[in-house]
Structure 1
């Protein structure tokens, strides 16, 4: 399936110097799926309606202030390759080009809707993220902000004292409550108001009840619910207990599954690949393969490496967080670490991964990886 079968021409081009107030009015009048931003006539990036709605940047700011980088894709590119581009670019939308000419756009939701029928081939337990970070109802907003920033994530399940799932809080929930309360304060009250908001328990801002998925649910059913309700992800709960969180599944996890291969070499996917400095994709694949090869009983089916840049720098080199996750016939294994530069962060995470693999060796997988399911996806 070529991306031309999925892409849409429902977009509008604007110059980077255009006022955001004008951009917001374009969405109200024309309701495009996205806006392509150009600078001196050349492609510069994208702005989505959801991004604008959830942003509180003033109308007098320029469109360039809201522009996000999104990699170009070709009109005849394969849907699998475009899914990979979106995941590795950390974006939900990409411009579609025919040669040098802008032809349309494609979104994460467009791809998921187009392949929905094929997703019956997968169940949640094959694609979900197992090592989920949770918080308690009395965790304050300031602590939530630090966790979201530290781990480069967008949502956190909330548990009560009995470890039962009671809510979900997202980055956008935090932004909304902070901006709402700040708008009520006068200029002189703002410092105290910030402290008050950051001290709020997350119970006061979380979403409840929470939409969940069970491990044996089909991915198709989960994606249908996400698309219908405009959710980016669902909490994953144990089959016998809907209040016990075992992981999380997101639209990005589904896109990542579309890129899985059955090639002889291990499939490695990198998110935010633009952060790579002195290390290459080939170096990363070789180093992860070296770890996997030490343990013959463990067969790695897929590796995901995610880089996240913090604002802190040392002599101009940014602090990077690296997360490595392996999907194996023995279950999931993960490692994370931080360092100045992608190479340092990756090496710290790799060391942690190997130590975690040692603990995983004796764990019996619930189910061997089923290649025929990926072959069905290969029909796309």
Structure 2
């Protein structure tokens, strides 16, 4: 299926000289997945809600300072390749070109709507993300924003003092709440008002109750619920207790699953591939394959490597966070780490992943030994 069958010529566009206040208003009024930024009529990049979470960005700032690159898509590109480009570009929207000129856009939602009927064959358990970052309901809005930025994520399940799920706070919730409250203030110095907003408890901002799904539900049903509620993800809870956070499933998780390959080599997807410096895709794959050989009976189905850039720099090199997640027939195993530059961050995350793999193997060996011992005892 060509992406031309899915893409649209109806999209939101702003000039690079427009200010951040206007972009915030567009997100509040139209709720687009992203805004296409142009300069003198030529494509420059995109801007997303997540970028507006930077509390120090004033409304009068020009949006060209926040504009990020997004993969350019051709009208004749295959939908699977485009899905991979969106995942690896870390974006929910991308420009579509025809003969070198901007023709339209394609978004995460447009792709998922087009393939929705085919998602019955997948269950949430096959593609969801375990061990997610959460936040306490009495934490402040400022702490939530820092956690969203620190981990490069768009949603945080909110838990009470007993660890039970009480709601979800997302980038959309934060931007909408902040925009709505700032607009209520009078003109002049708003810095004090901004500080007060950041000190509010997450409980005042979160969406509650949280919309959830379970491991045995089809991905189609989960995505339909996302569309119905205009959510980008759902909290995954155990079948026997919907108060406990078991993980999350997002539209990006579904998009990633659509782009899995059937290659003989390990399928490795890299989010924010533009952050690679001295690393190559092949060197990352080879390094992970060395670890997967230690799985023994465990079969690795897919590997996801995600890079996230922090503001901190050392002699011009940015601090990078790297997360590696392996999906296997025995569950998920992950490792994360930070370093200056993608290569250093990847090596730290890889070492952590290897330790976790060996720990899983150790647990399995213990279980096998216990099983053998019980069988022998049963023979006495």
- Scaled by the length of structure 1, the TM-score of the pair is 0.85
What does residue 353 of structure 1 align with? 353
Deviation at 1:4, TM superposition (A): 1.1
Cα distance, 1:116–1:54 mapped onto 2, change above 3 Å: farther
Seen in structure 2, the aligned counterparts of structure 1 residues 33 and 240 have a Cα distance that, compared at 3 Å, is closer
Q: Measure how far apart 1:228 and its partner are.
A: 2.0
Instruction: Tell me, in whole angstroms, the C-alpha distance in 2 between the residues paired with 1:9 and 1:189.
Output: 38
Contact 1:235 1:248 in 2 (8 A): yes
1:139-191 CA distance string (max 9 Å, x none):
23333233222211121111123322111112333344455555638866834
Could you give the per-residue CA deviations for residues 275-315 of structure 1, whole angstroms, max 9, x where no partner exists? 00111111110100011112322221100000000000000
| Residues 55-204 of structure 1 mapped to structure 2, 5 A cutoff | 62-65=62-65, 67-178=67-178, 184=185, 190-191=191-192, 193-204=193-204
Which residue does the alignment assign to 1:303?
303
**In the alignment, what sits opposite 2:256?**
256
Q: Deviations over 1:102-159 (max 9, x none)?
A: 2221111000000000000100000000011122222233332332222111211111
Cα shift at 1:65? 4.4
CA change 1:32–1:169 in 2 (3 A) is closer
- d(CA) in 2 for partners of 1:227, 1:78: 24
Unaligned runs of 5+ in 1: 365-380
| Contact 1:10 1:34 (C-alpha < 8 Å) held by counterparts | no
Structure 2 residue ranges without an equivalent (≥5): 365-380
Cα distance in 2 for partners of 1:268, 1:105 equals 26
2:173–2:206: 8 Å Cα contact kept in structure 1?
Answer: yes
- For the residues of structure 1 that align with 2:27 and 2:348, how far apart are their CA atoms? 44
Deviation of 1:337 (Å): 0.4
Counterpart mapping for 1:239-318 below 5 A: 239-318=239-318
Mapped contact 2:53–2:171 kept (Cα < 8 A): no
Tell me the CA shift for residue 261 of structure 1. Answer: 1.8
1 CA distance for matches of 2:31 and 2:156? 31
Give deviations 1:70-96, integer Å, cap 9, x for gaps: 110111111111000001111111111
Q: 1:175 to 1:97 in 2, by over 3 A?
A: closer
* Shift in CA distance, 158/190, structure 1 to aligned 2, threshold 3 Å: same
Match status 1:215 vs 2:219: no
Q: Distance in 2 between matches of 1:72 and 1:139?
A: 39
- CA pair 159-71 structure 1, distance change in 2 beyond 3 A: same
Structure 1 position 210, deviation (Å): 0.7
Structure 2: distance between partners of 1:361 and 1:97: 48
Q: Structure 2 vs 1, CA of residues 174 and 226 (structure 1 numbering), >3 Å: closer, same or farther?
A: same
- Per-residue CA deviation, residues 338-380 of structure 1 (Å, 9 max, x unaligned), is 010000000000011111111222667xxxxxxxxxxxxxxxx
Distance 1:205 1:268, change over 3 A: same
User: Relative to 1, partners in 2 of residues 1:160 and 1:297: Cα closer, same or farther, differing over 3 Å?
Assistant: same
Corresponding residue pairs, total: 362
Q: 1:335 to 1:200 in 2, by over 3 A?
A: same
For the 8 Å contact 1:330–1:363, the answer to whether it is kept is no
Match of 2:244, SS?
A: strand
Cα pair distance change 1:336/1:30, threshold 3 Å: closer
For the Cα contact (< 8 Å) 2:307–2:320, is it kept in 1?
A: yes
CA distance in 2, matches of 1:45, 1:126: 33
User: Is the CA contact (8 Å cut-off) linking 1:267 and 1:303 kept in structure 2?
Assistant: yes
TM-score (norm 2): 0.85
SS of alignment partner, residue 237 of structure 2: strand
Closer, same or farther in 2 for the Cα pair 1:131/1:41, shift >3 Å? same
Who is 1:330 aligned against? 330
- How far apart are the structure 2 equivalents of 1:293 and 1:272? 26
Q: Give the Cα separation in 2 of the matches to 1:147 and 1:254.
A: 23
